[in-house]
Amino acid sequence: MSKLKTEERPRELVQEYELDAPPEKVWRAVSDPAFRKKWLPGRDLADAEPVSVETGEEIRYRMRDDEPPYLESIVAFQLRPDERGGTILTIVHGLADARLLPPASNNNESVMMRAA
């Protein structure tokens, strides 16, 4: 396995890996709960139910913190074959919770005018 790149976008962290395993095997590892529990640390996604599935190409899971402030995020596993029979695995971890959006530059407070 080699890491191709890591990219941060607003509200998303994108990681891309080049794997020596065929896409079918990688798909089983990210979509089958029994296989996921073997490589995924902790309970973060081990028991998660997918929110969307494009069989063999992408699976998305919703994660929710179990402690306040109970933030939610979506983790997507995207697969595509490479030219050598391996797999390019892209993991996109994005915030699903609008509470962490940056505030508007105009904070919608009333403007106080100074008397001259």
Positions of E strands within 27-68: 50-54, 58-64
CA distances (Å), origin 37, targets 8, 29, 32, 40, 110: 27, 9, 9, 5, 52
Domain ranges, residue 76: 2-98
Q: Is residue 86 part of a domain?
A: yes
Please say if the pLDDT value at position 85 is more than 60. Answer: yes
Whether residue 63 lies inside any domain: the answer is: yes
Q: Which of 64, 62, 61 has the alpha carbon at shortest distance from 78? A: 61
Number of structural domains, the chain? 1
The predicted-structure confidence for 14-72, as pLDDT tens digits, reads as follows 999 999 999 999 999 999 988 888 877 666 665 677 999 999 999 999 887 777 877 88
In a domain, 74, yes or no: yes
- Position with higher pLDDT, 86 vs 109: 86
Confidence of residue 82 (pLDDT cuts 50, 70, 90): very high
Is 112 within the bounds of a domain?
A: no
Is 90 exceeded by the pLDDT of residue 11?
no
pLDDT at position 65 is: 75
Residue 116 inside a domain? The answer is no
Residue 109, in any domain of the structure: no
21: CATH? 3.30.530.20
User: Within a domain: residue 71?
Assistant: yes
Q: What is the mean pLDDT of residues 1-24?
A: 80
Residue 54 domain-assigned? yes
